[in-house]
Amino acid sequence: MTQLSLYDFYRLIPKIDLHYHLLGGVRLETMLHFAKKYKIDLPVTVAKSFYRKYQLPGMPRKGGIEALSFLYSIMKDSSDYHKVITEVAEDAKAVGLRYIETFWNPSDCPISYNKLNPELIKSVDLAEKIYGVTIRFIPSINREASPEIAVDMVKNIISNPHPYVLGIGIDYKEQLAPVENFWKAYKLAKQNGLRLTAHCSEFGLHWRNVETSIELIGCERIDHGYTITENPELTEKYANEGIPFTVIPSNTYYLSQWTSKDEWQKKHPIRKMAEAGLNIIPCTDDWHIHNTNSANCYLTMVEDFGFDLDGIRTMIENSILAAWISEEQKYIWKKEWLAQFDELRSRLSDEPTIDKEHHIHYKRP
Protein backbone atom coordinates (compact mmCIF):
# COMPACT_ATOMS: atom_id res chain seq x y z
CA MET A 1 0.00 0.00 0.00
CA THR A 2 1.42 3.38 -1.01
CA GLN A 3 2.15 5.74 1.84
CA LEU A 4 0.67 9.20 1.61
CA SER A 5 2.12 12.61 2.24
CA LEU A 6 -0.02 14.94 4.33
CA TYR A 7 -0.76 17.15 1.33
CA ASP A 8 -1.91 14.14 -0.70
CA PHE A 9 -4.13 13.17 2.22
CA TYR A 10 -5.82 16.61 2.24
CA ARG A 11 -6.10 16.40 -1.54
CA LEU A 12 -7.60 12.92 -1.67
CA ILE A 13 -10.15 13.00 1.16
CA PRO A 14 -13.65 13.58 -0.26
CA LYS A 15 -14.71 17.14 0.42
CA ILE A 16 -17.69 19.49 0.20
CA ASP A 17 -17.67 23.28 -0.21
CA LEU A 18 -20.81 25.09 0.91
CA HIS A 19 -19.41 28.61 0.60
CA TYR A 20 -18.04 29.07 -2.88
CA HIS A 21 -18.64 32.18 -5.01
CA LEU A 22 -18.79 30.98 -8.59
CA LEU A 23 -16.85 33.92 -10.00
CA GLY A 24 -14.28 33.69 -7.21
CA GLY A 25 -13.30 30.51 -9.09
CA VAL A 26 -12.38 32.36 -12.31
CA ARG A 27 -8.74 31.77 -13.24
CA LEU A 28 -6.53 34.75 -14.13
CA GLU A 29 -6.09 33.56 -17.72
CA THR A 30 -9.86 33.20 -18.03
CA MET A 31 -10.41 36.78 -16.85
CA LEU A 32 -7.89 37.90 -19.49
CA HIS A 33 -9.64 35.71 -22.07
CA PHE A 34 -13.00 37.42 -21.42
CA ALA A 35 -11.39 40.87 -21.64
CA LYS A 36 -9.85 39.98 -25.00
CA LYS A 37 -13.10 38.44 -26.27
CA TYR A 38 -15.07 41.63 -25.56
CA LYS A 39 -12.22 44.00 -26.51
CA ILE A 40 -11.93 45.38 -22.97
CA ASP A 41 -8.65 47.09 -22.20
CA LEU A 42 -7.28 45.04 -19.30
CA PRO A 43 -3.49 45.19 -18.80
CA VAL A 44 -2.13 42.01 -17.17
CA THR A 45 -0.89 44.03 -14.17
CA VAL A 46 -4.43 45.31 -13.53
CA ALA A 47 -5.92 41.80 -13.90
CA LYS A 48 -3.30 40.47 -11.47
CA SER A 49 -4.24 43.10 -8.90
CA PHE A 50 -7.53 41.18 -8.39
CA TYR A 51 -5.67 37.99 -7.41
CA ARG A 52 -4.13 37.52 -3.97
CA LYS A 53 -1.41 35.33 -5.45
CA TYR A 54 0.00 38.32 -7.34
CA GLN A 55 -0.72 41.05 -4.80
CA LEU A 56 2.57 42.33 -3.44
CA PRO A 57 3.11 45.02 -0.81
CA GLY A 58 3.20 48.47 -2.43
CA MET A 59 1.47 47.27 -5.60
CA PRO A 60 -2.13 48.22 -6.50
CA ARG A 61 -4.55 45.61 -5.15
CA LYS A 62 -8.26 44.99 -5.19
CA GLY A 63 -10.57 43.08 -2.86
CA GLY A 64 -12.69 39.99 -3.55
CA ILE A 65 -15.92 41.99 -3.89
CA GLU A 66 -14.33 44.27 -6.52
CA ALA A 67 -13.13 41.20 -8.39
CA LEU A 68 -16.62 39.67 -8.47
CA SER A 69 -18.22 42.97 -9.60
CA PHE A 70 -15.65 43.36 -12.34
CA LEU A 71 -16.14 39.81 -13.58
CA TYR A 72 -19.92 40.20 -13.74
CA SER A 73 -19.39 43.26 -15.94
CA ILE A 74 -17.16 41.43 -18.44
CA MET A 75 -18.99 38.07 -18.66
CA LYS A 76 -21.70 38.87 -21.15
CA ASP A 77 -22.73 35.55 -22.61
CA SER A 78 -23.90 32.20 -21.20
CA SER A 79 -20.93 30.49 -22.91
CA ASP A 80 -18.68 32.50 -20.52
CA TYR A 81 -20.48 30.93 -17.57
CA HIS A 82 -20.16 27.54 -19.21
CA LYS A 83 -16.40 27.99 -19.43
CA VAL A 84 -16.20 29.03 -15.76
CA ILE A 85 -18.33 26.13 -14.53
CA THR A 86 -16.25 23.64 -16.52
CA GLU A 87 -13.03 25.04 -15.04
CA VAL A 88 -14.49 25.14 -11.52
CA ALA A 89 -15.32 21.43 -11.82
CA GLU A 90 -11.89 20.63 -13.25
CA ASP A 91 -10.16 22.48 -10.39
CA ALA A 92 -12.45 20.80 -7.86
CA LYS A 93 -11.66 17.33 -9.16
CA ALA A 94 -7.92 17.99 -8.90
CA VAL A 95 -8.18 18.42 -5.11
CA GLY A 96 -10.92 15.93 -4.23
CA LEU A 97 -13.78 18.40 -3.94
CA ARG A 98 -16.89 16.39 -4.81
CA TYR A 99 -19.84 18.68 -4.13
CA ILE A 100 -20.23 22.48 -4.30
CA GLU A 101 -23.11 24.74 -3.38
CA THR A 102 -22.16 27.90 -5.20
CA PHE A 103 -23.32 31.50 -4.88
CA TRP A 104 -23.91 33.76 -7.84
CA ASN A 105 -25.58 37.17 -8.02
CA PRO A 106 -28.32 37.30 -10.67
CA SER A 107 -28.87 41.04 -10.15
CA ASP A 108 -25.23 41.79 -11.12
CA CYS A 109 -25.34 39.67 -14.22
CA PRO A 110 -26.01 41.31 -17.61
CA ILE A 111 -27.88 38.18 -18.78
CA SER A 112 -31.43 37.72 -17.41
CA TYR A 113 -32.01 34.99 -14.83
CA ASN A 114 -34.64 33.33 -17.03
CA LYS A 115 -32.18 33.05 -19.89
CA LEU A 116 -29.03 32.19 -17.94
CA ASN A 117 -30.31 29.70 -15.37
CA PRO A 118 -31.23 26.92 -17.87
CA GLU A 119 -27.75 27.31 -19.41
CA LEU A 120 -26.09 27.03 -15.98
CA ILE A 121 -28.05 23.82 -15.38
CA LYS A 122 -26.84 22.33 -18.70
CA SER A 123 -23.26 23.31 -17.87
CA VAL A 124 -23.25 21.64 -14.44
CA ASP A 125 -24.76 18.46 -15.91
CA LEU A 126 -21.98 18.31 -18.47
CA ALA A 127 -19.30 19.14 -15.89
CA GLU A 128 -20.59 16.37 -13.64
CA LYS A 129 -20.37 13.88 -16.51
CA ILE A 130 -16.79 14.86 -17.31
CA TYR A 131 -15.34 15.49 -13.83
CA GLY A 132 -17.71 13.72 -11.42
CA VAL A 133 -18.18 16.95 -9.46
CA THR A 134 -21.72 17.97 -8.47
CA ILE A 135 -22.53 21.69 -8.46
CA ARG A 136 -25.74 23.25 -7.13
CA PHE A 137 -26.80 26.89 -6.98
CA ILE A 138 -27.61 29.46 -4.33
CA PRO A 139 -28.58 32.72 -6.08
CA SER A 140 -27.44 35.47 -3.78
CA ILE A 141 -28.73 38.96 -2.99
CA ASN A 142 -26.27 41.76 -3.62
CA ARG A 143 -26.98 43.81 -0.48
CA GLU A 144 -25.43 46.88 -2.11
CA ALA A 145 -28.47 46.92 -4.43
CA SER A 146 -32.01 47.69 -3.23
CA PRO A 147 -34.32 45.34 -1.29
CA GLU A 148 -36.78 45.63 -4.21
CA ILE A 149 -34.20 44.19 -6.60
CA ALA A 150 -33.79 41.31 -4.15
CA VAL A 151 -37.56 40.66 -4.19
CA ASP A 152 -37.47 40.62 -8.00
CA MET A 153 -34.62 38.12 -7.88
CA VAL A 154 -36.64 35.79 -5.66
CA LYS A 155 -39.73 36.18 -7.89
CA ASN A 156 -37.63 35.11 -10.88
CA ILE A 157 -36.37 32.05 -9.02
CA ILE A 158 -39.90 31.10 -7.99
CA SER A 159 -41.29 31.46 -11.50
CA ASN A 160 -38.43 29.38 -12.94
CA PRO A 161 -37.98 26.66 -10.31
CA HIS A 162 -35.36 23.95 -10.71
CA PRO A 163 -34.16 21.28 -8.27
CA TYR A 164 -30.56 22.48 -8.72
CA VAL A 165 -31.48 25.92 -7.33
CA LEU A 166 -31.57 25.18 -3.63
CA GLY A 167 -32.08 28.44 -1.82
CA ILE A 168 -30.92 32.02 -1.48
CA GLY A 169 -28.09 33.84 0.24
CA ILE A 170 -26.89 37.41 0.66
CA ASP A 171 -23.40 38.84 0.22
CA TYR A 172 -21.34 41.96 -0.62
CA LYS A 173 -20.62 44.74 1.90
CA GLU A 174 -22.48 43.91 5.09
CA GLN A 175 -21.66 47.28 6.70
CA LEU A 176 -23.78 49.02 4.03
CA ALA A 177 -26.99 47.02 4.50
CA PRO A 178 -27.96 44.61 7.28
CA VAL A 179 -29.88 41.45 6.41
CA GLU A 180 -33.16 42.72 7.92
CA ASN A 181 -33.48 45.23 5.05
CA PHE A 182 -34.12 42.22 2.84
CA TRP A 183 -36.79 40.54 4.95
CA LYS A 184 -39.38 40.62 2.15
CA ALA A 185 -37.14 38.72 -0.27
CA TYR A 186 -36.29 36.15 2.43
CA LYS A 187 -39.92 35.78 3.49
CA LEU A 188 -41.01 35.15 -0.07
CA ALA A 189 -38.20 32.64 -0.58
CA LYS A 190 -39.10 30.77 2.59
CA GLN A 191 -42.81 30.68 1.72
CA ASN A 192 -41.88 29.05 -1.56
CA GLY A 193 -39.71 26.33 -0.06
CA LEU A 194 -36.27 27.80 -0.77
CA ARG A 195 -33.52 27.22 1.80
CA LEU A 196 -31.96 30.26 3.49
CA THR A 197 -28.44 31.31 4.37
CA ALA A 198 -26.74 34.70 4.87
CA HIS A 199 -23.28 36.23 4.97
CA CYS A 200 -23.14 37.95 8.34
CA SER A 201 -20.83 39.11 11.10
CA GLU A 202 -17.92 39.19 8.65
CA PHE A 203 -15.30 42.01 8.73
CA GLY A 204 -15.53 42.06 12.56
CA LEU A 205 -19.14 43.27 12.43
CA HIS A 206 -21.52 42.79 15.34
CA TRP A 207 -22.82 39.34 16.42
CA ARG A 208 -26.32 40.82 16.29
CA ASN A 209 -26.29 40.18 12.53
CA VAL A 210 -26.06 36.43 13.16
CA GLU A 211 -28.90 36.65 15.66
CA THR A 212 -31.08 38.61 13.19
CA SER A 213 -30.32 36.18 10.35
CA ILE A 214 -31.36 33.18 12.43
CA GLU A 215 -34.09 34.47 14.73
CA LEU A 216 -35.80 37.05 12.51
CA ILE A 217 -35.05 35.98 8.94
CA GLY A 218 -35.08 32.23 9.61
CA CYS A 219 -31.70 31.31 8.12
CA GLU A 220 -30.76 27.71 8.73
CA ARG A 221 -27.10 28.18 7.89
CA ILE A 222 -24.68 31.09 8.44
CA ASP A 223 -21.80 32.17 6.20
CA HIS A 224 -18.90 33.50 8.34
CA GLY A 225 -20.59 34.61 11.62
CA TYR A 226 -17.24 35.00 13.43
CA THR A 227 -18.21 37.52 16.09
CA ILE A 228 -20.92 35.27 17.51
CA THR A 229 -18.44 34.07 20.15
CA GLU A 230 -18.61 37.57 21.69
CA ASN A 231 -22.07 36.54 22.90
CA PRO A 232 -21.55 33.38 25.01
CA GLU A 233 -25.27 32.80 25.56
CA LEU A 234 -26.11 32.77 21.84
CA THR A 235 -22.97 30.79 21.07
CA GLU A 236 -24.11 28.07 23.46
CA LYS A 237 -27.63 28.12 21.99
CA TYR A 238 -26.41 27.79 18.38
CA ALA A 239 -23.87 25.14 19.37
CA ASN A 240 -26.67 23.10 20.95
CA GLU A 241 -28.91 23.64 17.94
CA GLY A 242 -26.06 22.61 15.62
CA ILE A 243 -26.49 25.63 13.32
CA PRO A 244 -23.88 25.19 10.57
CA PHE A 245 -21.36 28.04 10.14
CA THR A 246 -19.37 28.03 6.89
CA VAL A 247 -16.02 29.47 7.95
CA ILE A 248 -13.15 30.64 5.77
CA PRO A 249 -9.61 30.00 7.03
CA SER A 250 -8.29 32.36 4.32
CA ASN A 251 -10.69 35.20 5.25
CA THR A 252 -9.05 38.47 4.24
CA TYR A 253 -10.21 40.54 7.21
CA TYR A 254 -8.71 38.24 9.83
CA LEU A 255 -5.54 37.60 7.85
CA SER A 256 -4.87 41.33 7.99
CA GLN A 257 -5.59 41.72 11.71
CA TRP A 258 -2.57 39.98 13.12
CA THR A 259 0.82 39.68 11.55
CA SER A 260 2.29 37.37 14.18
CA LYS A 261 1.22 33.75 13.86
CA ASP A 262 1.34 33.33 17.61
CA GLU A 263 -1.20 36.10 18.15
CA TRP A 264 -3.31 34.85 15.27
CA GLN A 265 -3.46 31.37 16.73
CA LYS A 266 -4.62 32.71 20.09
CA LYS A 267 -7.23 35.13 18.81
CA HIS A 268 -8.64 33.82 15.54
CA PRO A 269 -12.41 33.40 15.84
CA ILE A 270 -12.42 30.04 14.01
CA ARG A 271 -10.52 28.57 16.97
CA LYS A 272 -12.89 30.20 19.43
CA MET A 273 -15.91 28.91 17.50
CA ALA A 274 -14.52 25.38 17.56
CA GLU A 275 -13.68 25.57 21.25
CA ALA A 276 -17.27 26.65 21.93
CA GLY A 277 -18.55 23.57 20.09
CA LEU A 278 -20.14 25.37 17.14
CA ASN A 279 -20.82 23.38 14.00
CA ILE A 280 -18.07 24.72 11.75
CA ILE A 281 -17.45 23.82 8.12
CA PRO A 282 -14.23 25.04 6.44
CA CYS A 283 -14.84 26.50 2.97
CA THR A 284 -12.91 28.48 0.38
CA ASP A 285 -15.09 31.55 -0.47
CA ASP A 286 -13.10 32.83 -3.48
CA TRP A 287 -10.93 30.02 -4.82
CA HIS A 288 -8.58 31.67 -7.38
CA ILE A 289 -9.15 35.25 -6.29
CA HIS A 290 -7.99 34.38 -2.75
CA ASN A 291 -5.39 31.85 -3.89
CA THR A 292 -6.82 28.90 -2.03
CA ASN A 293 -8.43 25.53 -2.71
CA SER A 294 -10.19 22.83 -0.69
CA ALA A 295 -7.03 20.86 0.08
CA ASN A 296 -5.23 23.99 1.31
CA CYS A 297 -8.28 24.93 3.31
CA TYR A 298 -8.06 21.72 5.37
CA LEU A 299 -4.27 21.92 5.51
CA THR A 300 -4.62 25.38 7.09
CA MET A 301 -7.12 24.05 9.62
CA VAL A 302 -4.45 21.60 10.82
CA GLU A 303 -1.20 23.45 10.36
CA ASP A 304 -2.29 26.93 11.38
CA PHE A 305 -5.38 26.42 13.52
CA GLY A 306 -4.20 23.32 15.40
CA PHE A 307 -6.97 20.80 14.65
CA ASP A 308 -6.10 17.12 14.58
CA LEU A 309 -7.39 14.60 12.05
CA ASP A 310 -10.28 13.53 14.32
CA GLY A 311 -11.41 17.16 14.20
CA ILE A 312 -11.05 17.25 10.40
CA ARG A 313 -13.13 14.06 10.15
CA THR A 314 -15.84 15.73 12.24
CA MET A 315 -15.82 18.76 9.91
CA ILE A 316 -16.16 16.55 6.82
CA GLU A 317 -19.15 14.93 8.52
CA ASN A 318 -20.52 18.39 9.45
CA SER A 319 -20.31 19.43 5.80
CA ILE A 320 -22.25 16.39 4.58
CA LEU A 321 -24.98 16.93 7.17
CA ALA A 322 -25.21 20.67 6.45
CA ALA A 323 -25.47 20.28 2.67
CA TRP A 324 -28.88 20.93 1.13
CA ILE A 325 -29.18 17.39 -0.22
CA SER A 326 -31.59 14.54 0.54
CA GLU A 327 -31.32 12.56 3.77
CA GLU A 328 -30.64 9.47 1.66
CA GLN A 329 -27.71 11.17 -0.08
CA LYS A 330 -26.32 12.30 3.30
CA TYR A 331 -26.49 8.73 4.56
CA ILE A 332 -24.67 7.36 1.51
CA TRP A 333 -21.92 10.01 1.48
CA LYS A 334 -21.40 9.78 5.22
CA LYS A 335 -20.88 6.03 5.04
CA GLU A 336 -18.70 6.04 1.91
CA TRP A 337 -16.69 9.20 2.48
CA LEU A 338 -15.84 8.60 6.11
CA ALA A 339 -14.70 5.06 5.21
CA GLN A 340 -12.48 6.60 2.51
CA PHE A 341 -11.20 9.14 5.03
CA ASP A 342 -10.23 6.33 7.44
CA GLU A 343 -8.57 4.28 4.70
CA LEU A 344 -6.51 7.26 3.51
CA ARG A 345 -5.60 8.13 7.10
CA SER A 346 -4.30 4.60 7.65
CA ARG A 347 -1.86 5.20 4.76
CA LEU A 348 -0.21 8.21 6.39
CA SER A 349 3.28 7.48 7.67
CA ASP A 350 2.74 9.99 10.49
CA GLU A 351 -0.17 11.99 11.83
CA PRO A 352 0.42 15.76 11.62
CA THR A 353 2.54 17.20 14.40
CA ILE A 354 0.56 19.77 16.35
CA ASP A 355 2.02 22.07 18.92
CA LYS A 356 0.52 21.01 22.28
CA GLU A 357 -0.25 24.58 23.26
CA HIS A 358 -2.37 25.17 20.15
CA HIS A 359 -3.92 21.74 19.75
CA ILE A 360 -7.72 21.78 19.57
CA HIS A 361 -9.76 18.66 20.27
CA TYR A 362 -12.79 19.47 18.16
CA LYS A 363 -15.93 17.59 18.93
CA ARG A 364 -19.46 18.75 18.33
CA PRO A 365 -21.70 18.62 21.43
Residues in contact with Zn ion by the rule CB under 5 A: 285
Count CB neighbours of 315 within 10 A. 22
* 159 class by beta-carbon count within 10 Å (0-12 exposed, 13-18 middle, 19+ buried): exposed
- By beta-carbon proximity to Zn ion, the closer residue of 95 and 248 is 248
Residue among 298, 324, 320 at smallest CA distance from 309: 298
- By beta-carbon proximity to Zn ion, the closer residue of 17 and 285 is 285
Least distance (Å) between residue 7 CB and Zn ion: 25
Least distance (Å) between residue 171 CB and Zn ion: 5
Edge to edge, the sheet with strand 15-21 lists: 15-21, 97-104, 134-142, 167-171, 195-200, 221-224, 244-247, 279-282
- Give Cα 247 to chain centroid, integer Å: 8
Q: Please, which residues have CB within 8 angstroms of residue 175's CB and are 6 or more apart in sequence?
A: 203, 205
- Give Cα 2 to chain centroid, integer Å: 32
- By beta-carbon proximity to Zn ion, the closer residue of 80 and 285 is 285
Q: What's the length of the chain? A: 365
- By beta-carbon proximity to Zn ion, the closer residue of 11 and 19 is 19
Q: Which residue is nearest to Zn ion (CB)?
A: 285
Least distance (Å) between residue 285 CB and Zn ion: 5
Say whether 320 sits in a helix, a strand or coil: helix
Least distance (Å) between residue 350 CB and Zn ion: 34
Where in 109-158 does DSSP place strands (E)? Answer: 134-142
- By beta-carbon proximity to Zn ion, the closer residue of 150 and 344 is 150
Residue 167 β-bridge partners: 195
Least distance (Å) between residue 271 CB and Zn ion: 20
What's the rounded Cα separation, in Å, for the pair 293 and 25? 9
- By beta-carbon proximity to Zn ion, the closer residue of 108 and 285 is 285
Instruction: Give the number of C-alpha atoms closer than 13 A to the C-alpha of residue 221, restricted to the C-beta side.
Output: 25
- By beta-carbon proximity to Zn ion, the closer residue of 285 and 317 is 285
Least distance (Å) between residue 65 CB and Zn ion: 9
Least distance (Å) between residue 175 CB and Zn ion: 15
- By beta-carbon proximity to Zn ion, the closer residue of 38 and 253 is 253
What's the rounded Cα separation, in Å, for the pair 18 and 284? 9
